[in-house]
Structure 1
């Protein structure tokens, strides 16, 4: 079974600055994932030609089921919070989970929201900048895996140091009673072994994923709790899209 997570930057290429829906579909098809987590996903956004990028990806990979959860509604610069579950009929942005396996149940999990602005020191700056964050959520599904039920969750955590740790601990706690093995995939905005240390779950992939041209850190992760092993080394795939590489790993019991 192949797992993959990909922060798609709404399908935009840094090479030419364009969103080409056919090129995005081809990139997803080439990943050939059985279960795929996507972050920074557009639906009905003018900048991505009004496409439902989750539906485009589902058709490209041959997914039998998929779910999109909006965290923001409206267009860039005019964002408003979305609940993740309501999916109002307007332009949206969020995360998605797609699978070729049958789904027994879905759940959208809201993550703790940061209220107000906090000081963050960014690389290359001496003084902190006060920033806010967008709403965050996870999509969890109980799947019919090769050996029985398993849980997969997809998320995109805050870029604000410390707050992403709070969100990850909360999410791992919410998944504690879910069927095992359980997999957590996504752009966690945490580097290296830190996500495994926070959750107590095992990392299935130790590969640099960001920035796309010359990766020097791993922000994208596949974590597991339970009897699931990587069958070969994970790969960070340069798809020609996004500022992240896609993270791909083949697994077995």
Structure 2
């Protein structure tokens, strides 16, 4: 079974600045994932041709099961948090989880938002900038695999240093009662050491994913708790869109896997 996570940058290519839906379809097909977590996903946004990018990806990979969770609604620059509604009727933006395998149940976990603005030092800038974060969430699926049930969680944590650790710890606390084995996929905006420390989970995938053309850092992760293990080395894939590479790994679920 192949798991993958991909921050798609609403389908935009950093090389030509275009959102090409056929390019997105080709990228998802190339991943050939059984379960796929997506971040920075648009729905009904002018910048991405008004498309439902979750539905585009689901059709491309043959995923009958999929869930889009809006974290923001409206258009960039004027949007606001999509609290209280996973899929508002307006233009929206958020995360998605897609599965070729049957899903027994779905659940959404809201993550704590940082109030006010926080200083962030961006590469190349002389001084920190005061920024306001977006709303954040996680989506959980109980997936039925040929080897048994697997809890899959997808998220996209804030880029604000320190607060992403807070969000990850809150998420792990919310997942304590979920059945194991459990995997957590997504853009955590953390290096591997901090992601492992804050989550208490094992990494199933080790590979640099950012920036896409010459990756120097691993911001995207596939973490595990319980009897699930990697079945081979992970792949970091430049798929022709986004400033992130996709991260994929084949896994096996079995009682003999490490906890």
TM-score bracket for this pair, using the shorter chain length: over 0.9
The residue that corresponds to 2:122 in the other structure is 122
Are residue 107 (structure 1) and residue 107 (structure 2) matched? yes
For residue 86 of structure 1, report the CA deviation from its aligned partner. 3.6
Deviates more, 1:216-225 or 1:145-154: 145-154
2:30 counterpart SS class = helix
* Count of matched residue pairs: 253
Partners of 2:93 and 2:139 lie apart in 1 by 14
Per the alignment, residue 171 of structure 1 pairs with 171
**Pair 74,221 (structure 1): closer, same or farther in 2 beyond 3 Å:** same
Counterpart in 2 of 1:80?
Answer: 80
Q: Per-residue deviation at 1:88? A: 1.5
Shift of residue 64, structure 1, vs aligned partner: 1.7
SS in 1 for 2:5: strand
In the alignment, structure 1 residue 239 sits paired with structure 2 residue 239 = yes
Measured in 1, the distance between the counterparts of 2:23 and 2:128 equals 38
Partner of 1:208: 208
| TM-superposition CA deviations, 1:5-51 (whole Å, max 9, x none) | 00000000111110011110111011000000000000000110010
1:96 aligned onto 2:96: yes
Distance 1:86 1:181 in 2: 26
How far did residue 126 of structure 1 move? Answer: 4.2
Superimposed CA distance per residue, residues 123-164 of structure 1 (whole angstroms, 9 cap, x where no aligned partner)? 334432211100000000111122222100000000000000
Structure 1 counterpart SS, 2:192:
coil
Q: Give 1:84 shift.
A: 6.6
CA deviation digits over 1:37-72, x for unaligned, max 9? 000000000110010000000000010200000011
In the TM superposition, structure 1's runs of 4+ consecutive aligned residues that sit over 6 Å from their partners are: none
Q: Conserved in 2, the CA contact under 8 Å of 1:84 and 1:137?
A: no
CA RMSD of aligned residues (A): 1.1
Q: What per-residue deviation string (whole Å, max 9, x for no partner) do you get for residues 145-188 of structure 1?
A: 22222100000000000000000001111111111110000000
1:81 offset after TM fit, Å? 1.0
1:134 is aligned to 134
Given that 1:71 and 1:82 are in contact with CA atoms closer than 8 Å, whether structure 2 keeps it comes out as yes
CA–CA distance in 2 between the matches of 1:18 and 1:209?
21
Question: Any unmatched runs of 5+ in structure 2?
Answer: 254-259
Partner of 2:257: none
For the residues of structure 2 that align with 1:214 and 1:14, how far apart are their CA atoms?
12
State the match for 1:229 in structure 2. 229
Structure 1 unaligned regions, length at least 5: none
